[in-house]
A and B are shown apart, each in its own frame.
Chain A
Amino acid sequence: MTLWMDIGALTDIPQQGARVVKTAAGCVAVFRTADDQVFAIDDACPHKGGPLSEGIVHGSSVTCPLHAWVFSLETGMAQGADTGAVNSYPARVEAGRILLDASRLARRAAA
């Protein structure tokens, strides 16, 4: 099942920036790229837990603010020589509103 949940306006996030959404199982970082795509991944870096929402966004990647691992926003996979991944969640923009798949978030909380 997919349950789209409206979490705010696209303009609530600056371009090339991120905001977090709180869930029972920790924060999810929601990113907006320079070309207005939106992605959602876990906010904790698998290296030492760095808040990915505070990283620099370039193309569809983010660089962790603590030790500069780079993650793909779409797949959550670490890029380059580093190995690791964060969960990624379906996200979309409809009429200027950001929607997240709440059923996926809930399953993550249960896991």
Chain B
Amino acid sequence: MKQKLVVIGAGMASGRVLEQLTETAPDAFDITLFNAEPRGNYNRIMLSPVLSGEKTYVEIITHDDAWYAARGVKTVLGQAVTKIDRAAKTVTSAGVETPYDQLIIATGSAPFIIPVPGHKLSGVVTYRDLEDTNAMIAAAKPGAKAVVIGGGLLGLEAAAGMQLRGMEVVVIHLMGHLMERQLDPAAGYLLQKSLEQRGMKIHCKGATKAILGKDRVEAVLLEDGTVYDADIVCMAVGIRPEVRLANDAHLDVGRGITVNDAMQTSDPAIWAVGECVEHDKQLFGLVAPLYDQAKVLAQALLGQAAAFRPVQTATKLKVTGCDLFSAGDFADAPGREDIVFRDPARGVYKRLVIEGDKLIGAVMYGDTADGNWFFGLIKDGSDITTMRETLIFGPAYQGGATADPTAAVAALPPSAEICGCNGVCKGKIVEAVLAGANTLDLVRSTTKASASCGTCTGLVEQVMAVTLGDGFTANANPAMCKCTDHTHEDVRRLIKAGSLKSIPAVMQELGWKSVGGCASCRPALNYYLLADWPTEYQDDRQSRFVNERNHANIQKDGTYSVVPRMWGGVTTPAELRAIADAADKYDVPMVKVTGGQRIDLLGVKKADLPAMWADLNAAGMVSGHAYSKGLRTVKTCVGSEFCRFGTQDSTGLGIKLEKLLWGSWTPAKVKLGVSGCPRNCAEATCKDIGVICVDSGYEISVAGAAGMDVRETEFLIKARTEAEAMEIIAAFVQLYRENSRYLHRIYKWVAKVGLDWCRAQVEDPATRRALYDRFMLSQSVYQTDPWAELSQPDQLAQWAPMADLSLEAAE
């Protein structure tokens, strides 16, 4: 007699099992197929082309009524199985019991729903089946707005599909880059760029707080306060195996239904296959391994020996025009070596990860033609020793071309500015070179490019190399660090010329040689980006040195010092009391008056920082940034208010200057001094910027230093009024912020660009005003008190140890 086989779930996995069984042993089983969806097996992964309108549902059906009929498969569609009775060997659906000899559970998985307020509103869908797809299609009127929560594979396919139907689409993604499980940050950046180019809005690091709406969804609110209007919201934040039936039947269930190598559950008469299973602690979310499982299960049911062995899977995104590929393991680890290829001009990124003599991972963007070849090498564990050198160029490669370090420059448009001092663009230099200027000196004399401060020499030489080809060898300038061949100056200019607005963007477009930079280039890049794009770039705290990350100076024993601001060195009894109280309360071992006219509380434990800041905030004080590459102090003398020699209110001006400039990030620290007369009690002439008050106004001098180098300031310009002095100083600071290389103090930078050039910039009223305006724009973002932000209740946990095992460990 035929055995009775019952199958729960008509999905991609069970479809393959049915094919295998009915083909190899058409008469072995009486098959009954249950499906909760009101339809039989279809190609779920092709829902994306259905959503985008490139295919219809009918085209993606894999098994139709005729197919089931021809093979004697009885179907019960649109009816979920609600119970398995293992003792009686029956399943229950719509109150009817169906007996089985062998049972297959193939229930797939259920989309994860974040339980934020509003998740049950009408218009909130997931992306799993045809109903979801149709709901999105129905919402797609031109101009309608869609918000997709989740920037993984499914979310992006949903977003691209709705966009192709004319909707305005925003993708909100919790992590720093898209598809972080399959892509590294570089490839994630390229993907984001290409989606943005076709008009999609991508919001990374966005956490959904609530879905807003009365009867149906109207908008999505993020934790950071952003609100996106929405006519439909698609949640695609992950899936979990559908194991409810198995749980109720007391089968062994981990994260999925536990199966052995033959796909058998803890009950020998019950089998499981597809996304609902857990095999050897592993879950499966792509079809390739599910098909292998299906084959094994079919063999096992027919009594043949078979064992499922998961193989590596590769990922592609089914969005036309976004060419990406990822396979294997591409995490950094010792003993692993990366081979990276970047072609900024074509937007190509390839990374291979090699361990020993084997390729173990590959990530590619932009050109994935060799993906399957690499995937083959990974799956087979092939020895790649002999092709190692040329591996990244793919199977067709023969010969010796290497990645071109001048590619970033070659890709610049002719209008890109190369020489900032003299405003010379790339096109002009190319023209001069083609007209015969084949040495740097000739280019300098004909175009003036790199004829002033010389910091763009490297770029000018690269333009020449690109124009002249092999006939030109550039003078080597020291590179920023071992991650790149570019100098600091080149990088700064290219960030502006290429509108590069994130660290992965810089690393990709400028051909970084390492995967994530190093402790030397990351802080520099973070500074350049926030200085150049104050409103668009988001400060990356993890790319800052410890003092700036923790907003306190780390001391040699790992404790910190806390220095509140005292505007212009002026304090009050109330402030002093608050400081004294804080010193008592937190057991501060030393209280010291600094050289910058304020008070340093030294030896504070990290865990005490936020509470201490909150106390000082409560007394009206803010961070003194005594730790930052930024505005430190404005030292003042008492001036005309009290001193018999004073010509102007130097204290008042100092306070105003500190209130204008505080919070700004600069390439290196900036200290000011304001003295009320040339006796110079505030020692203003050894500061980065010094002001000496005289009867007729304010003499502003710059580029002093009192450190390892000691220098007197040089006269820059004289201001008639206080307001004028303040505008000039802010403009000068902005000039420094925009042009200096990271970690160069003002005196080093002025020595490079020349005081005359600086003076010309701040003397010209229009240029000065524009610099001032850009400074104020940046201040509108960055002039905030980090202590107030970091001592908020939701920030407190990060300052304490994440766990205390000292008791356990002592036992």
Give chain A's interface residues, CB within 8 Å of chain B.
5, 7-8, 12-17, 19-25, 27, 30, 33-37, 48-51, 54-60, 63, 65-66, 68, 70, 72, 74-75, 95, 100, 102, 105-106, 108-109
Contact = CB atoms under 8 A, between A and B. Distances in A.
Given A23-B806, A35-B184, 20 more contacts: A13-B802, A14-B541, A15-B175, A16-B542, A16-B543, A21-B801, A21-B804, A25-B809, A35-B180, A37-B333, A51-B554, A54-B550, A56-B519, A56-B544, A60-B332, A65-B545, A68-B519, A74-B334, A102-B805, A106-B808
B117 interface: no
Nearest to B176: A15
3 closest residue pairs by CB, A with B: A63-B519, A16-B542, A7-B803
Contacts of A48: 556
Contacts of B255: 95
A50 B550 CA distance: 15
A57 B804 contact: no
A36 B808 CA distance: 27
A8 B523 contact: no
Chain B interface residue bracket vs A: 35 or more
Interface stretch (B311-319, B377-385, B509-517): B509-517
A24 B809 CA distance: 6
A60 B556 CA distance: 25
Contacts, number: 125
Given A55-B519, A58-B517, A74-B333, A65 B542 contact: no
B798 interface: yes
B557 A49 contact: yes
Contacts of B759: none
B558 interface: yes
Interface string B307-336: 000000000000000000000001111100
A78 B38 CA distance: 61
B797 A23 contact: no
Contacts of B802: 7-8, 12-13, 19-21, 30
A17 B331 contact: no
B330 A54 contact: no
The B interface, classified by DSSP as helix, strand, loop or mixed, is loop
B518 interface: yes
A86 B218 CA distance: 54
B593 interface: no
B249 interface: no
A25 B490 CA distance: 48
B690 interface: no
B519 A58 contact: yes
Among A15, A36, A100, chain B packs the most CB atoms within 10 A around the CB of A15
Contacts of A33: 331-332
A54 B557 CA distance: 13
Given A14-B541, A36-B180, A74-B334, A58 B805 contact: no
Contact of B331 (A13, A27, A35, A102): A35
B19 to A, nearest CB: 34
Contact of A23 (B176, B330, B514, B809): B809
Given A14-B541, A57-B542, A58-B516, A109 B809 contact: yes
Interface in B733-766: none
Contact of B334 (A66, A72, A109): A72
B549 interface: yes
B519 A70 contact: yes
A63 B514 CA distance: 15
13 contacts: A7-B805, A14-B541, A16-B542, A19-B801, A24-B809, A25-B809, A33-B331, A48-B556, A59-B514, A60-B331, A102-B809, A105-B805, A106-B811
B804 A22 contact: yes
B810 interface: yes
A106 B180 CA distance: 35
A8 B803 contact: yes
Contacts of B808: 5, 102, 105-106
Contacts of A59: 332, 514-516
A27 B800 CA distance: 12
Contact of B809 (A14, A50, A54, A105): A105
B781 interface: no
